[in-house]
Amino acid sequence: MTTRAIDQAVVLQPDGDLCEGAACDELEQELFSLAEQGRHVIVDLSATRIVTAHGLGVLARAKRLAEASGGDLVLCGAANLQRWLLDVTHLAEVLPVYASQAEAAASLGRRAAVA
């Protein structure tokens, strides 16, 4: 997983499938740590092929935890199948998906200004 800062956010880019296993466990630990700190997090899915129910659960729990701590979590770089899965599960309603890291960062800036 690649981690870097962009504007006021932290970008996490998993490089493996988000299902049961090491890549998902690593993302979960990092996400929950950042969320508890109230950080603004962008999860870039552009290098991720598969996202299972477990992976979606990790993202949804991290979103809830981030918001409770004063932060936020958004997604970017989702492939068509990942977008479809987010739509079908209605998670796209709570986990916004942007085309690029720049768009995601700009959305977090707008959200922080409103709060």
**Residue pair 91/78 in contact by the 8 Å Cβ criterion:** no
Q: How many whole angstroms separate alpha carbon 17 and alpha carbon 33?
A: 20
Pairing of strands 2-6, 97-98: unpaired
pLDDT band at 103 (very low <50, low <70, confident <90, very high): very high
- Mean pLDDT across 50-56: 91
Reported as a single tens digit per residue, the pLDDT across 66-82 is 999 999 999 999 999 99
Name the residue with tokens 């932060």.
71
pLDDT band at 115 (very low <50, low <70, confident <90, very high): very low
